[in-house]
Amino acid sequence: MQDILDIENKLRGYLFGTACADALGRPVEHLSLEQIEEKYGAGGISELPPESPWTDDTQLMLVLARGLLRGAELELPGLMDMIAEELVLWLDEPDLGAGATTRGAALNLRAGIPWNRSGINSKTCGSLMRVGIIGFIYRNDPVKLLEVASLSGKITHSHPTSDAATIAGAYAVKLALDGMEPLDMFCPLLEVTEGISEEFTEAFKNSYELAHSNLSDEKALQKIGQGWYADETFALAYFCMLRYPDDYKKAVQTAVNITGDSDSVGCVVGGILGARLGIGSVPAAWVEALEGKAELEAMVEPLLEKYFEVSKSQ
C-alpha cells in the first residue's frame, strides 16, 4: 500500500510538475530576458494566474501517455504503431504551438509513411519535452525504457542530438523516481547517452561545470544557450536542477526566466523534479490555477495501473 501511495505521489508530481512549469513559461516564450523583466519586474514571471493553460509540450506528453496506455506492454513494433496512431489523432486537436518538426512528422504518418521513416532530421526539442512519461512507465525496465525513449523520439526527430537528449529526459525521470539527486544523475546520464551525439555530451558537461561555477544563474544560463535545440534544452534544465535540487518552485522560476524556449525548459525541469520530490513540492496555488487540471487528474489512475502492469511483467 505504501508503495502505491508513494508512486502515485510521484506520478502526480511528474504530471502536475510538468504542466505547471509549462504553463508558467508559456507567456514568456519568445521574449528576451529584458522583455520579461520589463513586463513582470526584476524577478521575472514568478506565479501562475488563474486558468493558466499549458502548451503543446504538455499536450504532446499526454499524446504519448495515451499511446503507452494502449500498448506499453507490447513488443516495440506494436507499441510504436499505437504511438503513431495517437500522433495522427493529435493533428485534429487544438494547435497549442507545436513546432514544424513534430507536425511535419505527424503529417508524414497520416500520409502513410511508416513510423521508422516518419522522423525529420531536426535537433529541436519536441521529442525531449514529451518523453518523461516513458521514464515513469518503464522505471523498472531500464532496457526497454531506453529503447522506447529513442524510438518514440525518432518518430518525429531523427537527429542524433535530439535522440541523446530524449533518452536523457526519459532516464532522468526514472532516476528521479528512484530518489536520485540531480548531482548523482550526471554519470548515469552520460553513460546511457554515450556515443550518440558529441554535441549533446558537450552541452551536458558544460551545464554541470557552469552549475558549479561562481557565475550567476543569469550569466551561466546565457552561456548554455536559449533552449530551442534539444541539447541546450536539457542542459539548461539540468543546470537549474543542479542549482536548486530540492526546490521545485525556484528551479522552475529560474528555468522559464530566460531568453529562449521558456516553456520547454521549464517543463523538463518541472517533470523531473516533480517526479523526485512529489506533488507536495509543486505549489498548491499553481495546481489550482492550472487550466485543464481535471484532464491530468483523469490520467493518474490509468497510468498507475499501466505502471504496475508493466512492472509485474519484468
Residue 197 makes CB contacts below 8 A (sequence gap 6+) with 160, 161, 163, 164, 165, 231
pTM: 0.97
Domain 17-309: which topology?
ADP-ribosylglycohydrolase fold (1.10.4080)
Task: Give the tens place of pLDDT for each residue, 97-128.
Answer: 999 999 999 999 999 999 999 999 999 999 99
Structure confidence at residue 112 (pLDDT): 98
Distances (CA, A) of 197 to 12, 119, 128, 145, 190: 32, 17, 14, 19, 11
Residues of the chain with pLDDT under 70: 1-2, 314
Position 1 scores a pLDDT of 52
Q: Domain-by-domain residue ranges, the chain?
A: 17-309
pLDDT value, residue 3: 84
Dihedral of CA atoms 272, 279, 56, 180 in degrees, nearest 10, equals 10
